[in-house]
Structure 1
Amino acid sequence: MTDTAGTRRNTGDIETQRVALVLLDQFSMIAFTSTIEPIRIANRVLGRDFYDWKTYSLDGAPVTASNGCKLSVDGSVSELQDADITLICAGVDVERVSLPRDLGVTLRRLNARGRTYGAICTGSYVLARYHLLDGRRCTIHWENIRSFREEFPDIDISADLFAIDRNCITCAGGMAALDMMLRVIAIQHGAYLAHEVAEVALYQNMRSGESAQRHDLESRTGISNVKILDAIRIMDLHIEDPLSCQQLAMTVNLSPRQLERLFRRHFDCTPGQYYLKLRLETARDLLRRTNRAVLDVAIACGFASTSHFTKCYRERYGCTPTEERQSYFWAQGPRKAAARQVVAV
């Protein structure tokens, strides 16, 4: 991974970095502010405006964040002509946003000029649709990683907190945006300034890009038994090709009976029931985040037939996979229910 973070420009006697943030509907407010605040504080510590930022929406109209707050912007993406760093800030349901061709053209032009471009939170999905992540290592919020891999199998997506690959920078969102921007500041001004900015922000532990997005499995489950944690990790790695209870038990050096006793003690279910729950949760995520056919989702989650998948899904969620997808789109309103526009640039 190569650290680059934009080129400096001279404006009079002051070097400036022009940062453009493209806000999509339902963008993550915490990720957005975690991007802006570090460079605002850096300006304050430096005693001059090294960083200058502007916000853009697809049409120049105010944009509503996922928390319901509406934000006015400086212009539309058609007015975005040049910037040293351009970041796509997205949030929930980014897969269903209709993207204009001119945004892709602009990003490609900036890339050709050697400018830095990237994404915050789920913005990597947008870059992928414009083919701007081809040959790049990138990241996205952990909730979107599995569906992203299904949609873009050839892209090198990681579960890292943030990724910097040449002039492409991406982060998982939330506070990860703060870590990424502190890294950008460190690249451009040195670690001392980055630490000073972090102190002003009362941010005590600056994290590296390779840091994990999620808490470890022990913290998430509240369980410390190594055998059962290993079994869950193996289940998660074999969603598409489920292992039998006997195979699971062998991989953690237990008998099937011992493994079943552990799962009943900690989860009040059998290993098979827990495994099925994980597979159905994955299926639900794919139904909501992708346009893949129900049969494709079934196969991706280890079901041999649509009928078996539908039966299991109805028993767990009280509806069929098709009904799940339709009701989810309906709940999001007409804008979300519209089919995703395919972008070719």
Structure 2
Amino acid sequence: MSFATLSRIGLDKPLRLLLINAGDAESITWAGLVQPLRLCARALGPQAFQLDIRTPQQVAAEGGHWHVALLVADETQAPLSGELCRAVIERCRSAPFWGGVGAAVLWLADAGVMDGVRIALPWALYADAEAKAERAILTPHLFDIDGPHLTCCGGAASIDFSLTLIDTIFGADAQALVKEALCVDKVRGKEERQRVALQARFGVLQPKLSEAVTLMEANIEEPLSTDDIASLVGLSRRQLERLFKQYLGSLPSRYYLELRLQRSRQLLLDTHYSIVQVGLMCGFSSGSHFSTAFGTLFGNTPREERQRKLMPPS
């Protein structure tokens, strides 16, 4: 599944979204997530969107039916008790799309329900994840979707995640209304990374990996080969591929391609360069290759991406 799949649930009326507040109601993780959704629910009305906010105890005792269910907690919050946590997770998993925001992502991974799933975890909790949730695949992204699983690292990224959910489920017009109300100019995409995530996670333990990613980020327009990168960081190609597979769940070539496509998407949204120019600036000599690769990652073509964002609110 992808965000394209998530968008189909917006056809159901009313769309029911559950937020379970297991942390501090004044934290930016919670406020950044709930405020855009509250504004959206107010604008669309209860016939289109019903936002359900509950405590873990309420969810465990009462249950319900939702299209999306998210467990939310800031990093300072102690984990839920075993029995309560299991009950809340069971309720969440009954929704077609479910997951966690902030520290709750680690709780889900620790419970074993994120085994083999790509998760966006706050970088400050990476050390805990290494000890408790080894079978989950940590990504350095602000938020992620893997099958029915939705995860967000929390903090200020909660705002981007919330606005992206609104755009995906209810459309660009609904997102534009909320952005205007919140005075938000730019929404960061799910592919953008926590800036300190790699260093925080690997630190001095995997300097070669951090160095390889830095080389990729510095060489977008004229991509280096995997052999070149391996040589520059002092590893064999096989050693480099093993590092990427173990710690990033991807091959160097695939990770590099996604970096370039993420950069191209940013240029399409934030600049007036032509689509051909954007492709060249991100290392694609062929327009058809650029369009195919972009569509595979994001679910639409570069032209569709730009047209969708240029479409004025109704």
Q: In which range does the TM-score fall when normalised by the shorter chain?
A: 0.5 to 0.7
* Number of the residue aligned with 2:204: 235
> Is the 1:26–1:92 contact (alpha carbons within 8 Å) kept by the matching residues of 2?
no
User: Counting helix residues as a fraction of each chain, which structure ranks higher?
Assistant: 2
Instruction: Give the C-alpha shift of residue 23 in structure 1.
Output: 2.0
Counterpart among 191, 196, 204 of residue 172 in structure 2: 191
Instruction: Give the C-alpha shift of residue 109 in structure 1.
Output: 5.6
1:97 aligns with 2:112: no
Report matched runs for 1:61-210 at 5 Å: 75-94=58-77, 96-101=78-83, 103-105=85-87, 107-108=89-90, 110-111=92-93, 113=94, 115-210=96-191
> Is the 2:63–2:91 contact (alpha carbons within 8 Å) kept by the matching residues of 1?
no
Q: Deviations over 1:191-221 (max 9, x none)?
A: 343233222211111101121223699xxxx
Instruction: Give the C-alpha shift of residue 159 in structure 1.
Output: 1.6
Question: Relative to 1, partners in 2 of residues 1:172 and 1:22: Cα closer, same or farther, differing over 3 Å?
Answer: same
Aligned partners of 1:189 and 1:131: how far apart in 2?
A: 31
Question: Relative to 1, partners in 2 of residues 1:28 and 1:92: Cα closer, same or farther, differing over 3 Å?
Answer: farther
Question: Relative to 1, partners in 2 of residues 1:191 and 1:235: Cα closer, same or farther, differing over 3 Å?
Answer: same
Question: What TM-score comes out, normalization by structure 1 length?
Answer: 0.52
Choose 1 or 2 for highest CA Rg.
1
Question: Relative to 1, partners in 2 of residues 1:92 and 1:114: Cα closer, same or farther, differing over 3 Å?
Answer: closer
Instruction: Give the C-alpha shift of residue 237 in structure 1.
Output: 2.1
Aligned partners of 1:169 and 1:2: how far apart in 2?
A: 10
* Number of the residue aligned with 1:40: 38
The aligned amino acid for 1:117 is W
* Number of the residue aligned with 2:249: none
Q: Give the aligned length.
A: 208
* Number of the residue aligned with 2:192: 211
User: What SS class does the counterpart of residue 105 from structure 2 fall into?
Assistant: helix
Question: Relative to 1, partners in 2 of residues 1:51 and 1:190: Cα closer, same or farther, differing over 3 Å?
Answer: same
Aligned partners of 2:26 and 2:99: how far apart in 1?
A: 15
Question: Relative to 1, partners in 2 of residues 1:25 and 1:175: Cα closer, same or farther, differing over 3 Å?
Answer: closer
The aligned amino acid for 2:68 is I
Question: Relative to 1, partners in 2 of residues 1:104 and 1:28: Cα closer, same or farther, differing over 3 Å?
Answer: farther
> Is the 1:149–1:155 contact (alpha carbons within 8 Å) kept by the matching residues of 2?
no
> Is the 1:116–1:167 contact (alpha carbons within 8 Å) kept by the matching residues of 2?
yes
Instruction: Give the C-alpha shift of residue 77 in structure 1.
Output: 2.5
> Is the 2:14–2:46 contact (alpha carbons within 8 Å) kept by the matching residues of 1?
no
* Number of the residue aligned with 1:29: 27
* Number of the residue aligned with 2:270: none
Structure 2: gaps of 5 or more residues: 209-231, 235-314
Question: Relative to 1, partners in 2 of residues 1:155 and 1:89: Cα closer, same or farther, differing over 3 Å?
Answer: same
Question: Relative to 1, partners in 2 of residues 1:23 and 1:48: Cα closer, same or farther, differing over 3 Å?
Answer: closer
1:5 aligns with 2:3: no
